[in-house]
Structure 1
Amino acid sequence: MRTLLTGASGFLGGAVQARLLADNAGELRAVFRRLPASLPKGVAGFAVPDLAIDRDWRELLDDVNVVVHCAARVHVMDEKSADPLAEFRKVNVDGTLNLARQAAAAGVKRFIFISSIKVNGEGTGRGKPYKADDVPAPVDPYGISKLEAEQGLLALAAESGMEVVILRPVLVYGPGVKANFRSVMSWLSKGIPLPLGSIRNKRSLVALDNLVDLIVTCIDHTAAANQVFLVSDGEDLSTTELLRRMGAALGKPARLLPVPEAWLDGAACLLGKGAIAQRLCGSLQVDIEKTRRLLGWTPPVTVDDALRKTARHFQEHR
């Protein structure tokens, strides 16, 4: 088995690389933006600074069986481009399909694409989770670009015979997580009181180890071909529950003030922070029944074990 992994320097790609090496899963070609000073034994590293539409991938794809495509222009909170959708399309659509077309021409058997739950939408009613075969309803440029990439990949699969597997993860957390998740851990570790003690939403999350396990499962599972799968930990939490369990993992009981949700929503809207209020108070749930049924897959890591591992890394590297 010879695998080409893109995005190997990223949060997810680095974890996929480590897992494939631990599993002795054959030859691994890993694509980095910049080559690290050293590479683990068994990894052939390649520096590819961007996913340009005219990039020639033929050398890297020679005799490759599977492509795991983690590289992407990711969702950003402080977008500065005058035309964000065009920027997302350059990488997530054009760059992805350029790689995929060359992979199909090179005889690659399977192309695993890491998409996003944002293809489904931005939020659900509580107890009304997204399903893998729901009609997509992306809202922001990132989600739109991921959907367009999915559509192009599935069309290519039908034309070429190369199998495509699409995974749509929810928020991913784990050792080394950054952005809002890391900020919240920092606040909790400092004992800062948070006005989030009365949130009754439900949100799906996925531990890094669980997502990586599903990716590895999809490398050679026959039932995965040309399917779309949602992925989560299989346990949905309210924001309040998550903070309490995160605090327990840190050994710092969460100091949560029972401020009514309506007050938080109103204050956030007045401050122009409605999107933040949606993530804190709104629900976003996914149904992974299709993933379980077709692949016989169950998340191997519990939420509490994953939070403890995440907290331990945070405490060791802050």
Structure 2
Amino acid sequence: MHVLVTGANGLVGGALHRSLSSASRFHSVGLCRTFTSDCIAAPDIVYADFLSPDFKNVGVFSRVSAVVHCAARVHVMSDAVSDPLSEFRRVNVEGTLNLARQAAASGVKRFIFISSIKVNGEATYAGRSFGPSDTPAPEDPYGISKLEAERGLMQLADETSMEVVIIRPPLVYGPGVKGNFASLIKLMRKGFPLPLGAINNKRSLVGVDNLVDLVIRCIDHPAAANQVFLAGDGEDLSTTELLCGLAEAIGSPARLIPVPAGLLSLGAAVLGKRAVAQRLLGSLQVDISKARDLLGWEPPVSVKEGLRRCVRDSSV
């Protein structure tokens, strides 16, 4: 079965492309918009920009039965562009739908879209988890663009014979992870004391190996057609538990100072860092029971093992 994976030089797309390439029942073609060193050793890579009007002439859909669209303009804490929403829409909505329309016209049977839990919202309350059928409530341009892309894809599924599968992951970690997660690894490696030893929140994460396993399950499972799934490790952690887990994986002590969360939240507000505080102190939990019940899927890698793989193979 031929599968086209976009964003094959990214954390998720790269891991998926490598996994599919090593499986006997799949032939994976990776699509990258630009050349990066991550693609040097990867097999079957095509360099083409799905935003370009000339993309339809590239011919990437030959014999392709499924597309997994991992490429995106990702969420950033400090966006330098003057109109972030327009730029997110250009890549994540217009680019996605351009790719999907061409896939449908070429006879692709299934289009899997890696969306984001940000479509659901930014936080959950104690004892409450986001579910795939909850009313969407995105709060930032990235989440809004992902929701608009989802809606456009579902409309396309209604108008064509191509099936659509939407997967919304929370924070994805694994070898090569960047951003805030990489910063946490770096801090733990250096042994800096952190005032995060008394945080009792709960956050869902998903290791890249677990997300890839779910995506592969969705490529040809009949029950996945035109469904929305939430991804996760099935083990929710507090920020304190996550940092202790990272320290254990690194093999160093966790130097965490038990400062009350309320005091940290107040300090973050004074410093204008509410968004950072929300990610460290707030809760965000996802319910993966639909994937379990409908697809018979279970996350194959524990959080402990996922963190070990992440720090073992990380360049941070």
Query: Aligning the two structures, in what range does the TM-score lie when normalised by the shorter sequence?
Result: over 0.9
Unaligned runs of 5+ in 1: none
Deviation at 1:252, TM superposition (A): 0.8
Deviation at 1:185, TM superposition (A): 1.1
The alignment partner of 2:206 has SS state of strand
Cα distance change on mapping 1:70 and 1:270 into 2, 3 Å: same
Whether contact under 8 Å (1:244, 1:254) holds in the other structure is yes
Q: Which residue of 1 aligns with 2:286?
A: 286
Q: Which residue of 1 aligns with 2:129?
A: 129
The alignment partner of 2:55 has SS state of coil
Report the AA paired with residue 241 of structure 2. Answer: E
Report the AA paired with residue 30 of structure 2. Answer: A
Whether contact under 8 Å (2:50, 2:99) holds in the other structure is no
Deviation at 1:104, TM superposition (A): 0.6
Kindly report which structure 2 residues correspond to 1:17-32, keeping only aligned pairs within 5 A, or say none. 17-32=17-32
Report the AA paired with residue 290 of structure 2. Answer: K
Whether contact under 8 Å (2:17, 2:29) holds in the other structure is no
Report the AA paired with residue 109 of structure 1. Answer: K
How much is the aligned-residue C-alpha RMSD, in angstroms?
1.4
Give distance in 2, aligned partners of 1:186 and 1:236. 22
Deviation at 1:298, TM superposition (A): 0.2
Q: Which residue of 1 aligns with 2:204?
A: 204
Q: Which residue of 2 aligns with 1:47?
A: 47
Report the AA paired with residue 72 of structure 1. Answer: A
Q: Which residue of 2 aligns with 1:113?
A: 113
The alignment partner of 1:56 has SS state of helix
Give distance in 2, aligned partners of 1:225 and 1:49. 27
* Mapped pair 1:259 → 2:259: yes
Whether contact under 8 Å (2:4, 2:31) holds in the other structure is yes
Deviation at 1:52, TM superposition (A): 3.6
Scaled by the length of structure 1, what TM-score is found?
0.95
Give distance in 2, aligned partners of 1:123 and 1:244. 22
Deviation at 1:46, TM superposition (A): 1.2
Q: Which residue of 2 aligns with 1:236?
A: 236
Cα distance change on mapping 1:163 and 1:236 into 2, 3 Å: same
The alignment partner of 1:291 has SS state of helix
The alignment partner of 2:44 has SS state of strand
Cα distance change on mapping 1:152 and 1:53 into 2, 3 Å: farther
Deviation at 1:234, TM superposition (A): 0.2
Give distance in 1, aligned partners of 2:88 and 2:280. 25
Give distance in 2, aligned partners of 1:39 and 1:65. 25
Q: Which residue of 1 aligns with 2:95?
A: 95
Q: Which residue of 2 aligns with 1:297?
A: 297
Report the AA paired with residue 5 of structure 1. Answer: V
- C-alpha distance after superposition, 1:25-74 (max 9, x if no partner): 3332211133467454xx43211245346632661112210001001000
Give distance in 1, aligned partners of 2:116 and 2:151. 13
Kindly report which structure 2 residues correspond to 1:241-252, keeping only aligned pairs within 5 A, or say none. 241-252=241-252
Give distance in 2, aligned partners of 1:311 and 1:73. 25
The alignment partner of 1:61 has SS state of coil
The alignment partner of 1:200 has SS state of coil
Give distance in 2, aligned partners of 1:102 and 1:164. 14
Whether contact under 8 Å (2:48, 2:55) holds in the other structure is no
Scaled by the length of structure 2, what TM-score is found?
0.96
Whether contact under 8 Å (1:58, 1:106) holds in the other structure is no
Matched residues, number: 314
Cα distance change on mapping 1:235 and 1:73 into 2, 3 Å: same
Cα distance change on mapping 1:109 and 1:281 into 2, 3 Å: same
Whether contact under 8 Å (1:196, 1:259) holds in the other structure is yes
The alignment partner of 1:245 has SS state of helix
- C-alpha distance after superposition, 1:141-172 (max 9, x if no partner): 00000000000000000110200000000000
Report the AA paired with residue 34 of structure 1. Answer: T
Report the AA paired with residue 66 of structure 1. Answer: A
Cα distance change on mapping 1:192 and 1:54 into 2, 3 Å: same
Give distance in 2, aligned partners of 1:2 and 1:64. 5
The alignment partner of 1:167 has SS state of strand
Deviation at 1:138, TM superposition (A): 0.4
Give percent identity, aligned residues only: 58
